[in-house]
Structure 1
Amino acid sequence: MAAAMEARLVRPAAATRGATSVRRLMWGGERHHLCGFGRQFRVGVRRPPAPARVWAAHGPDAGNGSVESSGKPRRGDDKWEVRADGGRRSGSTNAVAAPVLTTVKRVFTFGKGNSEGHKGMKTLLGGKGANLAEMASIGLSVPPGFTISTDACQEYRDNGKQIPMGLWDEVLDGLTAVEQDMGTALGDPSRPLLLSVRSGAAISMPGMMDTVLNLGLNDEVVTGLAARSGERFAYDSYRRFLDMFGDVVSHDSRPRCSVLSLLFGIVIFLSKETYLFPIHHSYLKRAFRQLFLRVMGIPHSLFEEKLEDLKAAKGVEMDADLTAADLKELVAEYKKVYMEAKGEQFPSDPKKQLYLAVLAVFDSWDSPRAIKYRSINQITGLKGTAVNVQCMVFGNMGETSGTGVLFTRNPSTGEKKLFGEFLINAQGEDVVAGIRTPEDLDTMKRCMPEAYEELVENCCILEKHYKDMMDIEFTVQENRLWMLQCRSGKRTGKGAVKIAVDMVNEGLVEIRSAIKMVEPGHLDQLLHPQFEDPAAYKDKVIATGLAASPGAAVGQVVFSADDAEAWHAQGKSVILVRTETSPEDVGGMHAATGILTATGGMTSHAAVVARGWGKCCVSACSDIRVNDAEKVVIVGDRIIQEGEWLSLNGSTGEAILGKQPLSPPALSADLGTFMSWVDQIRQLKVMANADTPGDALTARNNGAEGIGLCRTEHMFFASDERIKAVRQMIMAASVDQRKTALDLLLPYQRSDFEGIFRAMDGLPVTIRLLDPPLHEFLPEGDVEEIVTQLASDIGMTEDEVFSRIEKLSEVNPMLGFRGCRLGISYPELTEMQACAIFEAAISMTDQGFRVLPEIMVPLELGHQVSVIRRTAEKVFSAMGTSISYKVGTMIEIPRAALVADEIAEQAEFFSFGTNDLTQMTFGYSRDDVGKFLPIYLSNGILQSDPFEVLDQKGVGQLIKLATERGRSARPDLKVDLWEYVESMVENLLPLHFLLRLDWIMSHAHHSGCFFKLSFKILGDSCYLVTKLGCSIHIGHLGCFPTLGPHCKASSGTSCCLRKIQRMYSNLNCSRFFQGRALPSLFWKGTSLFTKPR
């Protein structure tokens, strides 16, 4: 090992006075160094020196103003003064930074009726900063402060996390303005100014980024503060500041550590071979601990331990019971924690504290929790966070002070009544962190009546000004009210609808504005049962997977479809737990209250079927292991037996132990009013996915205006007799045997089509011929009994049946014997389905129903059109009448897109199946993509899941090409886009103008939450569909199946299908067209699909 590794210690000459010593070690050709500040070490890859510069222009930590080759600040507590020319000069050196001229304003002040910002500047100032400026400008009592813009944060991040040139000068100018407003000064014990430093992005990310309160305290300032406000208050504020500063600011998100360097440090830490490293092992252990704490920050628990120890020693339970002397002692302990963890004294210079706090808030934008939150909520395109620096006001100055949070209306019910919490003698984080149990606002009304009345008045002012229900943070300092924050309040679905309706009735908002206040997810909540109190079960969550189908489900665990059906027949509620599901499980899936699978994805079988039925489903729950043989599911060290109670939250993907209480969906009169407004405004129509007469009726009751996809294969699973007939058809060795089996299926298909046409009287129905691979109809698992029965039914031996099954098995069935390939190989199959469609259509027409059938052939077309048309003529001749119909095809494979002009010679419409087309284009199996896609996304190989957001460069170009070529051959070709695509609502509606879109496809039973995830695909491919002018069909959307009776009683108020129609009205035309003339639109009553331009 010695021959392979060179280890030596070198002490280089210092570049300047006081420069850091460097210990270099050469290992494997890569140079590392340990840089020590006192007892602290940083392990990192050595970088080439940056050009020398004077740090005074960048921050207060210049280390006596010395020029450092690394360009980084060194530790020091020097004071700084402002030169007349705008530059800065260190108090202990003559090094001077020249004034920096900037043309872009990056610091905006607010307070005392004057603000440099306003509520429309959220992108630049963040939501918090913009609203602080707005509240100050309309005359509310807002503590003075300033906001550092998101542009500055972006510059900081783009500059390798170095503070931008000149920004610190602007910050100090903002600080001067605050000091003049308040008549105080940062760091002045006689007139102490304390600050809060808080984050604020353009989109609210509650709790995801960092905050520092009480900044500006040190041993001298706390003495002055104590003289003015009392020792207990002063030292309580000081210990809070030490805790928060240590946890937030001491975190170094810019470590000079490569992964290899950190591993090298671990080797040092673990190694006992001190002859390689002539440093004592205990010293290395301490150094490595400091390295870890520098990278990770000082855990809050280290400070909390000291607090709990002190309370135990003093015999008290509450923080408020500690005396001033106790808090002094606690401050000393907190300083020791900082020193032991960081290897340096707590910084006493208030300007240095401010500098470090600003950088900490900038850095928190890239914290793991913030990144994860943005990923989960699909927040993209933001520059970073703004930083709000504000004069502190104190709710912990005694019984005449307090702090609180409120909503101007009840966020759960929508009731017009202040809803919030208040704590006397506390600071804001006490309410949020739950350190003390807060009281309701009636306590404030009794104890501080004048402040309460002002607060009520301010709430009315803010509601009228913002025209929305507001979430407000406030503090009362010695009976004076201060407003600290306001923003649009989060609310439940029930609350959102009531607030919207009430505000219209109050004359506060227009109907169009009220519709914008209700999000798709709000209606989703109204249409699914929900848990009564999600917070109550948080400690019982045992696993988390994909939120595949929303809602809440509670039942007893079963592991097979047969058991699910059997238990359901006994009146039991069951949760079907499977490694994965197949069509064979369909009966059990229908019987189950909820479905939990260990594998699969958002478009897996379980997810698709569950959404189609409005059932709660959690898929891809990789934390569980299902043992079907033992009938147990293993989660970590916990074993759940068959029959145990389990709860599922399909909106969050949580699997919860035990039987959690549910609240059923309730449809209110307010929802009926709200939906009537939607119907007055909407232009967009919605079609449904429906495969049975029951589905079609539910879809119609829920507002569907046609069926965009009827999958005939789903009809075959409706009963054992139908599956048996399908299997007989598949096993048939001759055409005669196959026709015999098809004759058994014909009445079933005809009856189903009659029911669908009856339900859709006067509305179009698009029917897809048999598409899935035949293997999906074959038996799985223990098949001996099924094979024996099948052999008996078709007159074959069991060996012949097994041989036939073996011949039909495929390595990759999704690319095999499916779609029109079935119809080409077995034309009698296409004839049977076409015959059933035409006979049903004529029968319903004769009964007075208006029927509009459209037949869609999967994958390709070929001679299938001639088979369909030949069958139509036979039926028309036999029944003595005829009907109008259309024939089209699905474009799901790349070659079909490339030869679309040839296909369009016979096809009257195209349907693009985006999931299959994506699967074929990328070569990804959508059922297995979850195994590697997260890695692709985290490494930036893909920017988004192609099954959620349409790939414009590949799949999108195929759609574009196919549409152009198809319309070159058939100018009146109709084009629609459908599939289980996700991520779409917010961006589809602008396209309605651009596309002349009048149809989208949904599902009879699905909740709108899926639709909320279903629109981004079109927003991301706006340039594409704008040129194509195509209609769009999407699945699934609809209503929870148990709401059927409510739908009739409330005149369609449960119409979840109209969620998209409602969302249309959220469109602000001027935003997209900026005053230009809008293109002509298709209104209600126009043709089924958009016409080509």
Structure 2
Amino acid sequence: MAPAGRCSQRVFAFGKGRSEGDKSMKNLLGGKGANLAEMSRIGLSVPPGFTVSTEACREYNEEGGKHLPNGLWEEILEALGKVEENMGARLGDPSRSLLLSVRSGAAVSMPGMMDTVLNLGLNDEVVVGLAMKSGERFAYDSYRRFLDMFGNVVMGIPHSLFEEKLEALKMAKGIKTDTDLTATDLQELVAQYKNVYLESKREQFPTDQKRQLYLAVVAVFDSWNCPRAKKYRSINRIKGLKGTAVNVQCMVFGNMGDTSGTGVLFTRNPSTGEKKLYGEFLINAQGEDVVAGIRTPQDLDTMKKCMPEAYNELVKNCEILERHYKDMMDIEFTVQEKRLWMLQCRTGKRTGRGAVKIAVDMVKEGLVDTRTVIKMVEPIHLDQLLHPQFEDPSMYKDKVIARGLPASPGAAVGQVVFTADDAEKWHGQGLTVILVRTETSPEDVGGMHSAEGILTARGGMTSHAAVVARGWGKCCVSGCSDLTIIEANKVVLIGDKTIHEGDWISLNGSTGEVILGKQALTPPALSGDLETFMSWVDEIRKLKVMANVDTPDDARIARKNGAEGIGLCRTEHMVSNAIVFGTFFSSDERIKVVRQMIVAPNSEQRHRALDLLLPYQRSDFQGIFHAMDGLPVIIRLLDPPLHEFLPEGNLGDIVSQLALDTGTKEEQVLSTVEKLSEVNPMLGFRGCRLGISYPELTEMQARAIFEAAIIMSNQGIKVFPEIMVPLIGTPQELKHQTDLIRKTAQKVFSEMGTSISYKVGTMIEVPRAALIADEIAEQAEFFSFGTNDLTQMTFGYSRDDVGKFLPIYLLKGILQNDPFEASELIKVAVERGRKSRPDLEIGVCGEHGGEPSSVAFFAQVGFNYVSCSPFRVPIARLAAARVVV
């Protein structure tokens, strides 16, 4: 009896118009198995087979692996018997042999992450019977492929050992392609491949077919926890899956001569979204040849010319599948002697550009509604669209040194590396790299993720490199046959050019161009289909999206990207840009004024310095209010410790520089600097503690805000200032600062003869503030959560130093993800704050404001808004809409 919550059936049959599963059973049958069952159910030609469930995989792993769970093998043999009956063939019978494919398939698509075995069931007796029926060349080609795959996937023999034998034989025979090998050549190769087993594993190739099947199922289960699969799941944050299903199907053959072939296609162009079949086809080949990028294939027009009837049926099937699934589909198929077989379908991975066009077009076609397409476009798709493109492609035309296939669009600039390990290592040192490979394999996934772009010499538009790169939104140029890579010397030859490791190149993934040197990049704009799609997003979402800005330029970008206000304007960035940020506050005069304020020995001199700083701050606020006309602007008072505004260097140099800048005696400066020195500055003299200790600082900033607001209001600009007090831990701290702000407001209103509406609120970033949020809310009109500091103080982790141990914590499972969030404290603060003030406005301005999964959490707990960087505003808007649908 199955444990509670588990399905008792572990093996599910499909094919020939019958199916024990359907597309809703993805968690149990995996994506591949569920879709095979569904295609069978709706009447498409699917080779018969069965799926061993993900539950069985979980049982296998829970029991320690090595042996299939009790009773499962018997269930597999029963399902195999039904397939044999359907096909009129038997596994191991030379006269009517049944050959099988064994493929993995998890609930979430992981291209190239799991292992496949084709032609299972062949041995020396069966291959003779197959040769009598289908020809010697076909039979021995299938056999050598099986020996290679089975050896690699099941026995753990490196694929390169088989490849070496193949290449040596071709060289000895003076031929270039696999298809030029004769039946006699292939028989010789089979013998050599068998010797690889003896040389590598010191054991014979297993000839018993049921033993082959048993070992293959175990190998697929084991592949769930292989390093590359675990790394792929980690990179893509795939969690909570039971394991992989195993799909066992009778083989159909694309390598039975010129009336056979195999292909992969998307029902629409996954890069551009164009409504046109997009894919590749290889005559006289098996599916792995296309997907693995072993041979560079032709486009689908080849199939249309050579096999028109099969092509027309394929087009019809694509239309059926799009209407049925209401999405763009990724399809694998084989033609065996002119008969079409559908091997797989799944929702197609696509670029950001493709995702948006497909969504907009499908709404226009009446296939889906606007709520449905919100789920079809992922936040990562918008992230891709917001990535840089080349500023002016015409400027580099004379530097194009090669052209390949435009496998994944966008632009990438980086230094050349030739191995995945080097890509990861260089990336870890803060360098941007282009990974250059003959072809990529699943083992390269870590380096591919670390690279800015990927360039391969072999492989097509649906090769491993292309599919993975498109899924991640990385620029990729594949099938660039002009490349000659000499990995041992770490060079690549392109025509008369020699590119060394570390040299800079640029890739245009939209055109396939490889460009010498570093080319200038520019961010893309929101327009066309994206503008249409984002209008639907805004109709659906309820959560407001604001932006974190420091300058009027930032504010203009934020507004252009759809921000509904400023959720965080950091005043310290306005007075420190020359020192830290390099822009906006760059005049020597302004720097000197800030430092005069810091070293002032008394309130009078501090007032004098602040009076000089006031016009600068007021001007800054005027620019931001102007840019955000009609929208709220939340301005945070000075937050960081004052020592951050001092020059860098040793103590003597700092004192000399400050004395020179401020006209103050060195002894006096030394005394001030020593007082500002702290053991733990992030928990020290900062935030509201500055404003309480130096009330004139809060007064100056409040005055600058109110004067700027009134000036702009008098010019017809609608202003809605909100002042945020940082690092509050007690109600008394907030009351002190709120009273000071309101008193200053009244002074300014009296002096200028007019008034404006405004709000005063606080950051919730100290755990104590979250716990006493009901008391804090009596003073505050709004809360804005600073998730970085809140997490630092909750966990006791320093965000600046957490990198030393966080990777180890994640690897060992001590933490499941980056801990920089504090969800339970946030829930408590929201509940208690609203209990005291029901209309309390609540938002977040930490880094999590633009992180899609966090946006979902903030919406669920009742936030009014999230605030993020200007460039992530569209992503946050989409994330907020996806919560609703």
Cα contact 1:186–1:350 (8 A) shared by 2: yes
Q: Residues 645 and 452 of structure 1: is their aligned pair in 2 closer, same or farther, counting only changes over 3 Å?
A: closer
Residue identity opposite 1:822 in structure 2: L
CA distance in 2, matches of 1:796, 1:987: 49
Aligned counterparts, 1:322-341, within 5 A = 322-341=181-200
- Flag the structure with higher helix content: 2
2:64 is the counterpart of 1:177: no
Shift of 1:300: 0.9
2:106 is the counterpart of 1:240: no
Superimposed CA distance per residue, residues 154-196 of structure 1 (whole angstroms, 9 cap, x where no aligned partner)? 1111122131221111111111111111110000000000000
2:845 is the counterpart of 1:975: no
Structure 2 residue corresponding to 1:1001, chosen from 867, 875, 881: 867
2:59 is the counterpart of 1:155: yes
2:595 is the counterpart of 1:727: yes
Structure 2 residue corresponding to 1:210, chosen from 115, 130, 137: 115
2:813 is the counterpart of 1:940: yes
> 2:416 aligns to what?
540
Q: Residues 115 and 661 of structure 1: is their aligned pair in 2 closer, same or farther, counting only changes over 3 Å?
A: farther
Aligned counterparts, 1:318-357, within 5 A = 318-357=177-216
Q: Residues 438 and 767 of structure 1: is their aligned pair in 2 closer, same or farther, counting only changes over 3 Å?
A: same
Residue identity opposite 2:563 in structure 1: A
> 1:527 aligns to what?
386
Residue identity opposite 1:752 in structure 2: D
Cα contact 1:530–1:551 (8 A) shared by 2: no
Shift of 1:433: 2.4
Cα contact 1:706–1:763 (8 A) shared by 2: yes
Superimposed CA distance per residue, residues 319-362 of structure 1 (whole angstroms, 9 cap, x where no aligned partner)? 11211111111111111111232222211110110011001001
Secondary structure of residue in 2 paired with 1:981: helix
Aligned counterparts, 1:794-813, within 5 A = 794-813=662-681
Query: Which has the larger displacement, 401-410 or 892-901?
Result: 892-901
Secondary structure of residue in 1 paired with 2:342: strand
Q: Residues 1068 and 692 of structure 1: is their aligned pair in 2 closer, same or farther, counting only changes over 3 Å?
A: closer
> 1:249 aligns to what?
154
CA distance in 2, matches of 1:942, 1:191: 55
Q: Residues 852 and 457 of structure 1: is their aligned pair in 2 closer, same or farther, counting only changes over 3 Å?
A: same
2:32 is the counterpart of 1:164: no
> 1:840 aligns to what?
708
Shift of 1:736: 2.2
Structure 1 residue corresponding to 2:877, chosen from 1039, 1061, 1068: 1061
Aligned counterparts, 1:756-835, within 5 A = 756-781=624-649, 790-835=658-703
Give the greater-gyration-radius structure (CA).
1
Cα contact 1:732–1:794 (8 A) shared by 2: no
Cα contact 1:395–1:424 (8 A) shared by 2: yes
Q: Residues 491 and 552 of structure 1: is their aligned pair in 2 closer, same or farther, counting only changes over 3 Å?
A: farther
CA distance in 2, matches of 1:711, 1:906: 22
Aligned counterparts, 1:642-681, within 5 A = 645=504, 658-659=517-518, 665=524, 668-681=527-540
> 1:1043 aligns to what?
none
Cα contact 1:402–1:425 (8 A) shared by 2: yes
Q: Residues 472 and 359 of structure 1: is their aligned pair in 2 closer, same or farther, counting only changes over 3 Å?
A: same
Secondary structure of residue in 1 paired with 2:866: strand
CA distance in 2, matches of 1:733, 1:958: 40
Shift of 1:967: 4.7
TM-score with structure 1 setting the length: 0.67
Secondary structure of residue in 1 paired with 2:258: coil
Shift of 1:547: 8.9
CA distance in 1, matches of 2:852, 2:123: 52
CA distance in 2, matches of 1:189, 1:553: 53
CA distance in 1, matches of 2:316, 2:781: 64
Residue identity opposite 2:590 in structure 1: R
> 1:747 aligns to what?
615
> 1:143 aligns to what?
47
Cα contact 1:683–1:1061 (8 A) shared by 2: no
Count of aligned residue pairs for this structure pair: 777
Structure 1 residue corresponding to 2:551, chosen from 692, 697, 704: 692
2:772 is the counterpart of 1:868: no
> 1:226 aligns to what?
131
CA distance in 2, matches of 1:483, 1:646: 41
Structure 1 residue corresponding to 2:777, chosen from 887, 901, 904: 904
Q: Residues 647 and 869 of structure 1: is their aligned pair in 2 closer, same or farther, counting only changes over 3 Å?
A: farther
| Identical-pair percentage | 72
Shift of 1:797: 3.0
Structure 1 residue corresponding to 2:278, chosen from 398, 412, 419: 419
Secondary structure of residue in 2 paired with 1:487: strand
Q: Residues 966 and 103 of structure 1: is their aligned pair in 2 closer, same or farther, counting only changes over 3 Å?
A: closer
Shift of 1:419: 1.1
Cα contact 1:528–1:551 (8 A) shared by 2: no
Shift of 1:391: 0.5
2:18 is the counterpart of 1:109: no
CA distance in 2, matches of 1:506, 1:547: 44
> 2:368 aligns to what?
509
Aligned counterparts, 1:629-640, within 5 A = none
CA distance in 2, matches of 1:488, 1:1060: 24
Secondary structure of residue in 2 paired with 1:382: coil
Cα contact 2:413–2:433 (8 A) shared by 1: no
Shift of 1:835: 1.0
Shift of 1:885: 2.3
Aligned counterparts, 1:396-415, within 5 A = 396-415=255-274
Shift of 1:891: 2.2
Superimposed CA distance per residue, residues 652-698 of structure 1 (whole angstroms, 9 cap, x where no aligned partner)? xxxx9942686863655222322333333333321111222222233
Structure 1 residue corresponding to 2:103, chosen from 198, 218, 221: 198
Shift of 1:841: 2.1
Residue identity opposite 2:638 in structure 1: L
Structure 2 residue corresponding to 1:359, chosen from 212, 218, 222: 218
Residue identity opposite 1:414 in structure 2: G
CA distance in 2, matches of 1:327, 1:727: 81
Shift of 1:644: 7.9
Secondary structure of residue in 1 paired with 2:847: coil
Q: Residues 385 and 842 of structure 1: is their aligned pair in 2 closer, same or farther, counting only changes over 3 Å?
A: same
Shift of 1:537: 8.2
> 2:157 aligns to what?
298
Residue identity opposite 2:680 in structure 1: N
C-alpha RMSD over aligned residues: 3.2
Cα contact 1:553–1:648 (8 A) shared by 2: no
Shift of 1:814: 1.2
Cα contact 1:412–1:495 (8 A) shared by 2: yes
Residue identity opposite 2:823 in structure 1: G
Q: Residues 916 and 957 of structure 1: is their aligned pair in 2 closer, same or farther, counting only changes over 3 Å?
A: same
TM-score with structure 2 setting the length: 0.82
> 1:701 aligns to what?
560
Cα contact 1:693–1:755 (8 A) shared by 2: yes
Shift of 1:756: 2.0
Q: Residues 800 and 553 of structure 1: is their aligned pair in 2 closer, same or farther, counting only changes over 3 Å?
A: farther
Shift of 1:859: 0.8
Shift of 1:865: 2.0
Superimposed CA distance per residue, residues 615-665 of structure 1 (whole angstroms, 9 cap, x where no aligned partner)? x9xxxxxxxxxxxxxxxxxxx99xx99x9857799xxxxxx9942686863
> 2:756 aligns to what?
883
CA distance in 2, matches of 1:989, 1:739: 46
Secondary structure of residue in 2 paired with 1:943: coil
> 1:1024 aligns to what?
none
Q: Residues 190 and 412 of structure 1: is their aligned pair in 2 closer, same or farther, counting only changes over 3 Å?
A: same
Superimposed CA distance per residue, residues 443-482 of structure 1 (whole angstroms, 9 cap, x where no aligned partner)? 1111111111111111111111111111111111111111
Shift of 1:417: 1.4
Aligned counterparts, 1:52-63, within 5 A = none
Secondary structure of residue in 2 paired with 1:1000: strand
Shift of 1:758: 2.6
Q: Residues 909 and 505 of structure 1: is their aligned pair in 2 closer, same or farther, counting only changes over 3 Å?
A: closer
